[in-house]
Structure 1
Amino acid sequence: MTTSPGATAATGTRRKARTALVVGGGVAGLTAARDLAAAGLRVTLVEADDHFGGAVGAHEVAGLVLDSGAESFATRSDAVPQLLEDLNLSDRVVSPNPAGSWLYLPEGAMPAPNTGVLGIPADPAASSLRPALGRSGIARARMDRMLPASVGAGEKSLGSLVRARLGARVLERLVTPFVSGVYSTHPDELDVDAVAPGLRAGLREHGSLCAAAGALRAKSPAGANVASLDGGMNQLSERLVRDVESRGVKIVTDYDVIALDRDPRRPGWMVIQRQPQNGDKTAVARGELLVMAADGPTTVRLMGGHLPDSQRYSPKPGPRVALATLVLDCPDLDGAPRGTGLLVSSDVEEVRAKALTHSSAKWAWVQREAGEHRHVLRLSYGRADAGSDTVPPEVALPDGHLISLAISDARTLMGVHIGPEQLVGADVVRWHTALPRTDVGHSKRVNDFRRAIKDVPNVIAVGAWLSGTGLAAVVADTRQQVAKLLRNHGYETPAQRD
């Protein structure tokens, strides 16, 4: 008689799983490991890098410990606040400076509209849009409320949808700078359902794309639509690591998985790591339940032998991004001349950065730690050109050259003198797989993958490539998926216990 994994040969009934294996030590993997351990399972977590947290990490620049990746979380849901409360970090939640960000267009710098989502304005007639759009651009955008709801409803890319409803000027001057700065992707290549679930449904409901964007924005709590932690979001990763260690989770770094398979000797799964430093010997980690929390291409590759036609689910590799952080002695920046930072139009030729964050103006804790007249700027490189998969030349520059470019770009964007003599310290952080590439068709591949993996026993997959970019999406989806896995194996979730 053949029995399912976890069943006993004597009875054929399911034995309650006692162990779990998590592959990937980013926030999704750490959160999954925490919830599995909290339910009473013995958990092993393996991570290919030498550190945990993925894109939520820290680096030291001029004596300041700063975020090296994600610096905030969206407040549109309670997923991250609930996790922070569970980790006793709620008292450290802070809001950004409400001054808001600016745009840098070919004409120069101007305040960015502060309504809507993804650069789509909630009110296309707002006077604040006139400098960016001009009268003709505003007139075209206002047509959105008069067009039938069917116009653009079938478009798959964000760019095509915005162009159909609001015109090219809104797309080029508002949406593209936002999307390029946040997603390192051109709107024409961005799957609208992947980055803005509900936007097309909102168009059908409200008959207007601007109204749909306003409705999505209204779902965020009053005030700022992002928040962070005093001391940086890197504390989330650090606290998660300490928490899972306290729960007995076995965590292993530098564990580059080369194979994933069923365990032939016991119920469940095993992963194999090659150890070149030990004569190419292999190490094996096991678990009855499996959580794949690696990036999309890695997850599909490792799961390939257990999914039919697996390659059709595989996402493209994520965009390559470089972040150049500058710490400057520059009193001219004390007045935050560009608010909390700028998003840069791809039509701007004299600047190569796609975005600049004035971190010491955006976050009071950074200014406090930096001290008087000292400022922290973070410039993001990796502009996305529609139809191109080539690595942006700025990303390929050596660190020293990129820092020099960042100083020059900062001077232009901020409109004040910034020179090498004012530089106190700098660092470059490069991300290759931190952002998933949510190109057109991505949401369908995700849905197909999740349907397929349901047929594979005792395994789930989590991460930004499945949930959508941003901590709010990642945390919410991870905890939901883990809760389902636990319930399917007879464990109570926190909601059931409460």
Structure 2
Amino acid sequence: MRRPWRVAVVGGGITGLAAAVRLRDGAPAGTEITVYEQAGALGGKLRTGELAGRPVEFGAESFLMRDPAGGESAAVSLIRRLGLAGAIVHPTVGQAALAVDGGLRPIPGGTLVGVPGDLDKVATVARPAADADRDGGRPLLGPEQDVAVGALVRARLGDQVVDRLVDPMLGGVYAGRADDLSLVTTMPALARAARVEHTLTGAVRAAQAAAPRAPGAPVFGTLAGGLSTLVEAAAQASGATIRLNAAVRELTPTADGWRLVVGPTREPELVEADAVVLTVPARPAARLLADLAPEVAVTVGGLDYASVALVTLALPEPALPELSGFLVPATEGLLIKASTFFTTKWGHLARPDGIALVRASVGRYGDETQLQLADDDLVATVHRELSKVLGTPLPAPVASHVQRWGGALPQYAPGHLDRLAATRAALRATHPTLVLAGAGHDGVGIPVCVRSGETAAGEIIEALGGSGS
């Protein structure tokens, strides 16, 4: 009788947990799945905490409801699989603003990550170049071309559209700059349309038309019990053995699988596995790949990351606008790059005592020195800047929390997806039972990470002989 498969999932964030659930659903009965997480808790950047007696997210806040093609996102599908669909809640206030020229202005509608499909709609925030977006008689991008988002938008629409719209939108998601980030990786729908359309506004409209949204349909969701409930449910549904405080330090191919060295140097544990799903960030992954696939390791390890801090304040009866929050262009010279009015945006968190939770995100790629401030100084700076942007002194917080995420957000330079495809092809040719997954490869956001983990699990099942074999 053939022994059960043994699959090691390295990394206990949502990517690894989604992989473990898919393995449980698709691999033969009896498959042994072990999740190795070097931290003391699962979830990675999904972390629900508490402040002033209310739940609050200290990491990722929400997930997209739809996938790029307009169907149900991978996050929603997983939530449904885990029996949590009834816990999905949506923002009660959806309008956000931009902090420009010393005030708050509503983010214009009709944009795609800040890139406008109608120049008239953004005139209150940014002035497009005088001869903006003329039809040059050919598609904006060649068939395989990738460019930095900022390079394309500046050339077509001018600097203000990038600096005041696109840059803060990308900064809110990636903590990066439009001039550095890959269009194909961060805005794939726009990149596809740009290979056909002759104008950027036309490409935006075409991308939006390719994935229409029903009027009133929610864009974002979260879970009423906090996103840590997703982590807990996925871990349970996977039936995996969970190993916390278990760093994988070495990965060596054997005649029939893999040998992992787990734990501290003084007391190493040797573990055998038939296959490995590697979901850790790029640089730890590169270290594990260095001996078995040196060229792949160099490429994987070349990905850079931005660090951020999330500062949450519990404020007694503050005067907040009826907004979900605001984004801050780097040109405004503030430490804050984004803020969420948590208890305004998420009505299920509103409380009768008037305590409001406000969260600010701090840290931009390449400009992270102020993250070295002590927690108390970060809190004071955020409180001062929030008061400045809102134009009124905010009450002193009754509680605060600082969550630091070092090396949290990948910075995808142009050509990232081509480099990724080459590394995966090289690994598949030599080590088909080792698969890379996670934000360092496929993109940020809960749905992307879930899909990445599930895809990796499917490749492992195929490499080991298919389900039920």
Within a 5 Å distance, the mapping from 1:1-80 to structure 2 comes to: 18-38=5-25, 39=27, 40=29, 41-77=31-67, 78=72, 79-80=74-75
Indicate if the aligned counterparts of 2:11 and 2:279 stay in contact, CA closer than 8 A: yes
Q: Which residue of 2 aligns with 1:413?
A: 389
Quote the RMSD (CA, aligned, Å).
2.2
Q: How many residues align?
A: 453
Cross-structure match for 2:89: 94
- 8 Å contact kept, 1:16–1:489: no
Contact 2:260/2:271 (8 A) holds in 1:
yes
Q: Which residue of 2 aligns with 1:381?
A: 362
Give 1:67-466 correspondences, 5 Å limit.
67-77=57-67, 78=72, 79-126=74-121, 129-134=122-127, 137=128, 139-140=130-131, 143-144=132-133, 146-151=135-140, 154=145, 156-218=147-209, 219=211, 221-222=213-214, 223-244=217-238, 247=239, 249-263=240-254, 267-275=256-264, 280-310=266-296, 311-333=298-320, 336-337=321-322, 339-349=323-333, 351-367=334-350, 370-384=351-365, 388=366, 392-420=368-396, 423-455=397-429, 456-466=431-441
C-alpha change, 1:484 and 1:312, in structure 2 (3 Å) is: closer
Tell me, in whole angstroms, the C-alpha distance in 1 between the residues paired with 2:3 and 2:197.
48
Deviation of 1:145 after TM superposition, in Å, equals 5.4
Shift of 1:176: 0.9
Listed as ranges, the gaps of 5+ residues in structure 1 are 1-7, 9-14, 494-498
Letter in 2 for 1:341: G
Deviation at 1:301, TM superposition (A): 1.7
Question: Aligned partners of 2:269, 2:137: CA distance in 1, in Å?
Answer: 60
Q: TM-score, normalised by structure 1?
A: 0.86
**Over residues 227-271 of structure 1, what are the superposed CA-to-partner deviations in whole Å (9 max), with x where a residue is unaligned?**
212232222112112323xx2x1111111222111246xx21121
Equivalent residues of 2:115, 2:204 under 8 A apart: yes
Contact 2:153 2:162 in 1 (8 A): yes
Please tell me whether the aligned partners of residues 7 and 34 of structure 2 are also in contact (alpha carbons under 8 angstroms).
yes
C-alpha distance in 1 between matches for 2:423 and 2:301: 9
Q: Which residue of 2 aligns with 1:12?
A: none
Please state how far the C-alpha of 1:434 moved relative to its aligned partner.
2.8
Amino acid at match of 2:282: G
Q: Secondary structure at the match of 1:260?
A: strand
Change in CA separation of 1:220 and 1:473 when aligned onto 2, cut-off 3 Å: farther
Q: Could you tell me which of 444, 462, 466 is aligned with 1:469? A: 444
| 8 Å contact from structure 2 (residues 277, 456) kept in 1 | no
Paired letter, 1:221: R
Question: 1:31: how far off?
Answer: 1.0
Equivalent AA in structure 1 for residue 327 of structure 2: L
Q: Which amino acid counterpart does residue 83 of structure 1 have in structure 2?
A: L
Q: Distance in 2 between matches of 1:33 and 1:227?
A: 23
Equivalent pair of 1:95/1:226 in contact (CA under 8 Å): yes
Greater Cα shift, 429-438 or 45-54: 429-438
Q: Is the 8 A contact 1:20 1:288 kept in 2?
A: yes
Spell out, residue by residue over 1:318-349, the C-alpha distance to the aligned partner (whole angstroms, 9 max, x if none).
Answer: 1110000011112422xx34x11111011112
Shift of 1:472: 1.4
Contact 2:39 2:244 in 1 (8 A): yes
Q: Percent identity?
A: 27
Q: Which sections of structure 2, spanning at least 5 residues, go unmatched?
A: none
Q: How many Å separate the matches in 2 of 1:291 and 1:220?
A: 34
2:393 corresponds to which letter in structure 1? H
Question: TM-score under structure 2 normalisation?
Answer: 0.91
Question: The residue matched to 1:457 in structure 2 has which SS?
Answer: coil
Partner Cα separation in structure 2 for residue 101 and residue 55 of structure 1: 23
| Change in 2 beyond 3 A, CA 1:46/1:99 | closer
In 1, Cα distance between the equivalents of 2:248 and 2:112?
Answer: 38
In structure 1, the residue corresponding to 2:232 is in which secondary structure?
Answer: helix
